[in-house]
């Protein structure tokens, strides 16, 4: 089973040891990134393994390999020699591992490692993405010595690169190895290290404020608490979250993984960032995903790749949930259920007859919102920057449409101000902070609903609150639609954890 390695990037040995104490019990080993240390700290390298009390990796990473070390190779060689000097006492710990790049061969260091019982991690780092195109060639460079641990850390340019890395890993011989897909598109490789056969997964002390050691690192606590990493094995079922690169900030993994745990299921829910719907499906299929949630911007783009769809998808024209069936993927839309349950609770109503609403946006989420408003008897005005999309949706649901700008101020204020719904992703964490409705002057009586739930208060919602409006974010919608997804994927009733 893969182990959790904490990469320490503090400026001093003392700072790194202090941070380690915050994570002790959560990690199996630590990597001392000596390239981040102040020059005066080099004298204390040798003491680190003993003081850490865990197996340690010594890495002095050059800038071209993603590190901070810029001095010459002679200086780096001296640093490694200081760190790997034989223990002064038999009870004193050595570094368990040292990382040496594929182009760094120093017989004296390599021999010292073998004498002192330090295993060599032979690595290659690629931050451009071309490494995925020559996996066999790179493997031959790092896997030449049988007693070394080959490591490939390769940037994924898109979701298909992660799929390629995962499929290629299944053809490798059974030996200790470290495989990492870097960057947002490679994120699943970290959570699914046991699927790639990686000896360990690297993490950074993000919650402690240390710089991330590499692109795509997560915090050990997130890996354990959100993804239940120690419970994921080669046979665990995978469920994916497909969307743009912002999906790694989604709260859906917390909901679904907690539910899988509560239900006693050997399953894990993982974000799969993807540049388009086809690439997302390629990566999900490579991971053997049984089902998936689909979010912006792929809710409409996923439709051509589905073999069948539910009635809700057919009527709404957007899909947020897929299930692997014999012959392909079946699409569902649980946004409809999620929004309906939460909006009725927010407004304290059993239906929406007589209500006049303004909906901002014309994407997949807006389609679900408009479907609910139509079915529950509300009238609606659709606002969107792209008029053609607003016009098409208005025709579908027999609603009114207009441009999303100040020219609609009077129309909204006088006819469609009972409920204002932001159905765009604007304001979402790690996305655009812009407010989609900044030209509107609230009167205070409007009920304002923002489907964005992270952050809990967006600029859109804060301005409405300041004007005295009742507001709600999309957290309740997410919980309800996630519970419906669980039911579709597993055929079981969702546990109460979704709504707690």
Among residues 376, 377, 431, 436, which one has the least CA distance to residue 404? Answer: 436
Query: By the 8 A CB rule, do 218 and 188 touch?
Result: no
267: CB partners within 8 A, 6+ apart: 236, 237, 238, 239, 260, 290
Distances (CA, A) of 242 to 259, 268, 270, 274, 392: 19, 14, 9, 7, 26
Give the H/E segment covering residue 243. Answer: strand 237-243
CA–CA separation, 367 vs 316, rounded Å? 6
For residues 101 and 123, the answer to whether their CB atoms sit within 8 Å is yes
Q: Give the active site residue among 299, 350, 389, 415.
A: 299
The whole-angstrom separation of Cα 499 and Cα 495 is 9
For residue 367, list its beta bridge partners. Answer: none
Q: How far apart are CA 85 and CA 352, in angstroms?
A: 75
- Is there a contact between 227 and 268 (Cβ–Cβ < 8 Å)? yes
335 CB contacts (<8 Å, ≥6 apart)?
A: 316, 318, 320, 364, 365, 368, 369, 477, 481
| Residue 299 is a catalytic residue | yes
User: For 102, phi and psi rounded to 5 degrees?
Assistant: -65, -20
Read off the DSSP letter of residue 210: P
Distance of alpha carbon 112 from alpha carbon 332, whole angstroms: 60
Question: CA–CA separation, 189 vs 170, rounded Å?
Answer: 13
Secondary structure of residue 198 in the 3-state scheme: coil
Strand 291-294 and strand 321-325: the pairing is antiparallel
| Pairwise CA distance, residues 307 & 334, whole Å | 18
| CA distances for 213 relative to 205, 245, 439, angstroms | 9, 19, 42
- Looking at the annotation, which residues are catalytic? 299
């Amino acid at each position: 089973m893969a182990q959790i390695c904490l990469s320490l990037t503090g400026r001093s040995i003392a700072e790194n040891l202090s941070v380690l104490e915050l994570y002790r019990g959560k990690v199996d080993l630590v990597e001392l990134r000596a390239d981040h240390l102040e020059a005066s700290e080099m004298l204390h390298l040798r003491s680190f393994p003993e003081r850490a009390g865990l197996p340690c990796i010594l890495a002095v990473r050059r800038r071209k390999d993603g590190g901070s070390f810029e001095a010459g190779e002679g200086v780096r060689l001296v640093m490694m020699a200081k760190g790997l000097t034989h223990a002064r006492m038999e009870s004193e710990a050595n570094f368990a591992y040292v990382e040496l790049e594929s182009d760094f061969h120093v017989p004296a260091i390599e021999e010292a490692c073998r004498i002192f019982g330090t295993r060599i991690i032979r690595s290659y780092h690629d931050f451009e993405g071309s490494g995925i195109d020559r996996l066999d060639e790179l493997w031959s460079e790092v896997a030449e010595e049988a007693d070394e641990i080959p490591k490939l850390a390769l940037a994924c340019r898109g979701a298909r690169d992660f799929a390629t890395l995962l499929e290629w890993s299944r053809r490798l011989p059974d030996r200790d190895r470290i495989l990492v897909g870097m960057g947002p598109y490679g994120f699943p490789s970290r959570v699914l290290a046991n699927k790639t056969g990686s000896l360990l997964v690297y993490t950074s002390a993000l919650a402690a404020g240390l710089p991330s050691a590499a692109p795509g690192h997560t915090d050990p606590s997130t890996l354990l608490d959100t993804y239940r990493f120690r419970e994921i094995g080669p046979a665990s079922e995978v469920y994916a979250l497909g969307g743009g690169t912002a999906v790694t900030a989604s709260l859906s993994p917390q909901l679904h993984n907690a539910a899988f745990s509560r239900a006693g299921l050997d399953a894990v829910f993982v974000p799969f960032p993807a540049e388009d719907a086809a690439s997302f499906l390629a990566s999900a299929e490579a991971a053997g995903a049984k089902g998936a949630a689909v979010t912006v911007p792929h809710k409409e783009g996923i439709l051509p790749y589905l073999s069948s769809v539910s009635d809700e998808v057919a009527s709404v024209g957007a899909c947020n949930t897929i299930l692997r069936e014999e012959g392909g993927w079946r699409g569902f839309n649980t946004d409809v259920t999620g929004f309906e349950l939460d909006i009725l609770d927010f407004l304290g109503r059993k239906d929406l007859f007589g209500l006049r609403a303004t909906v901002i946006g014309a994407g997949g989420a807006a389609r679900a919102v408009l479907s609910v408003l139509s079915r529950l008897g509300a009238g609606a005005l659709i606002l969107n920057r792209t008029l053609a999309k607003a016009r098409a949706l208005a025709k579908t649901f027999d609603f009114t449409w207009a441009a999303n700008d100040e020219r609609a101020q009077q129309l909204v204020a006088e006819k469609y101000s009972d409920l204002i719904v932001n159905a765009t992703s604007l304001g979402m964490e790690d996305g655009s902070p812009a407010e989609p409705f900044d030209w509107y002057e609230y009167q205070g009586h409007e009920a304002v609903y923002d489907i964005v739930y992270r952050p809990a208060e967006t600029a859109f919602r804060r301005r409405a609150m300041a004007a005295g409006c009742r507001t709600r974010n999309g957290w309740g919608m997410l919980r309800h639609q996630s519970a419906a997804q669980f039911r579709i994927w597993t055929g079981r009733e969702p546990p109460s954890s979704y709504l707690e």
